[in-house]
Amino acid sequence: MILVYTEQQNGIFKKAAYEAISYAANIAQSTGAQVCAVVLGEASGLETLGNYGAQQVVHVNDARLNKLEAKACAKAICSIANAQQADIIIFSNNNTAKAVAPRVAAQLKAGLVAGAVSLPDLSQGFVVKKSVFSGKAFAFVQIKSAIKVISLTPNAYGVNKTTATATVSNHTIDFASTDFAVKVISENKVQGIVPLGEAELVVSGGRGLKGPENWGILEELAGSIGATLACSRPVADSHWRPHHEHVGQTGGTIRPNLYIAVGISGAIQHLAGVNSSKTIVVINKDAEAPFFKAADYGVLGDAFEIVPKLTAAFKKMKASQQG
Ligand SMILES: Cc1cc2nc3c(=O)[nH]c(=O)nc-3n(C[C@H](O)[C@H](O)[C@H](O)COP(=O)(O)OP(=O)(O)OC[C@H]3O[C@@H](n4cnc5c(N)ncnc54)[C@H](O)[C@@H]3O)c2cc1C
């Protein structure tokens, strides 16, 4: 049995959850296993997870799990893994998985590969490819334990959708009060945009933008193509932009289809978070900026002239597609 932890909030699943199920379904095709999606916390309409390749859904319908507390989530997943005799457990490599997957692996004495970027190679045992050294190299890691845990990099594997549905069953866990040691005092949710970790299109700004008052041109550019905003570390450190937008070695690691970097020099610590992007466009007025070496497309010039022109071109393209 392949278990897939599918994260949701208020019954809404992230795209990364569908990617993880699709990934599991592909492994199942090679091994003849079944795919079981695990859903924690209150949610409904779970049979639709079958659309992505799960034959079964096991639901722990307990409101205390809505806050995704790592210790309790790990206990629930281990309990289901034991009940289902799971030998592979898949997570999407997001913040929740970073807290939960190692606990699950330790409790089940399983080998863990965090940040897988492709399907495991089953011809040589069970070998998983992952990015290492801040995305500069790949490692091929063999998992030899009976139970294997993989957390899949978001946007590294596509979503395969069918019309199949899954059977849903409930699972009850005997939680202790100590399983919920963390008290959430307040939540500050970013609304209305695709979260950075899942965004396919990202527009990112650096110190070349000179100050927070100039972010309007990037917001317009992002708005014209439905992109999510990101920034370099000094921009977040200077409070020009919120910290959740900071990407790089000490910020978020992203893998969008398109990363447009505006006024960012391309320091190695910045590249560490973005150089797995499928297409990188760099706009910089310094021909020697290191980012040009990592770029698929480079535009040499002043961001304040180029960005509005790019936005206008995107808007025109969109209008012609609609008309
Ligand atoms: C341990 C450590 C961890 C770090 N982690 C991170 C991290 O996670 N993420 C991160 O981003 N950085 C990180 N840094 C910082 C990193 O080394 C760089 O200092 C930082 O990325 C530079 O940010 P920047 O490119 O926005 O600014 P700058 O280096 O100042 O570059 C600004 C760029 O804008 C260009 N420019 C200026 N005006 C214009 C204009 N009008 N039009 C077009 N281009 C213009 C300039 O030519 C220049 O290339 C880390 C550093 C350390 C030591």
Are residues 194 and 74 in contact, defined by beta-carbon separation less than 8 angstroms? no
Which residue's structure tokens are 């289902």?
A: 84
Residue with tokens 């281990």: 78
Query: Which tokens belong to 187?
Result: 């939540």
Residue whose CB lies within 8 A of the most ligand 1 atoms, among 203, 218, 246, 250, for a mutation test:
250
CATH architecture assigned to 2-179: 3-Layer(aba) Sandwich (3.40)
Same fold, 2-179 and 196-322: yes
Q: What is the distance in A from the centroid of ligand 1 to the CA of 116?
A: 28
Mean pLDDT per block of 10 residues along the chain (323 residues) reads: 93 91 96 96 94 96 89 97 97 92 98 95 94 85 97 90 94 92 80 81 98 97 96 97 94 92 97 93 98 97 98 93 77
CA 206 – ligand 1 centroid, Å: 6
Identify the H or E element spanning 115: strand 111-116
- Distance in Å, CA 166 to ligand 1 centroid: 48
**CA of 246, closest atom in ligand 1:** 9
Residue to mutate (ligand 1; options 237, 243, 270, 310; most atoms within 8 A of CB): 270
The DSSP secondary-structure symbol of 143 reads -
Q: Is the CB of 267 under 6 A from ligand 1?
A: yes
C-alpha–C-alpha distance, residues 284 and 281, integer Å = 10
Please provide the CATH number assigned to the domain covering 196-322.
Answer: 3.40.50.1220
Domain ranges of the chain: 2-179, 196-322
Which residue is it, tokens 């806050």?
67
Quick one: tokens of 146? 């009976």
- Ligand 1 within 6 A of 303 CB? yes
Which two three-digit tokens encode residue 108? 């089940």
* Sign (positive or negative) of CA dihedral 115, 39, 164, 161: negative
pLDDT at residue number 33:
96
Instruction: Report d(CA 5, CA 70) in Å as an integer.
Output: 13
CB 51 within 8 A of CB 21: no
pLDDT reported for residue 209: 98
Query: DSSP string of 113-138?
Result: EEEE-S--BGGGSSEEEEEETTTTEE
CA of 118 to the centre of ligand 1 (A): 31
233 lines ligand 1 (CB under 6 A): yes
- At 148, is the secondary structure helix, strand, or coil? strand
Q: How confident is the model at residue 47, as a pLDDT?
A: 94
Residue 96 neighbours by CB under 8 Å, 6+ apart: 7, 68, 70, 73
> Which residue, judged by its Cα, is nearest atom 7 of ligand 1?
248
Please give the Cα distance from 226 to 222 (Å, whole number). 6
Distance between first and last Cα of the chain: 49
pTM, rounded to two decimals: 0.81
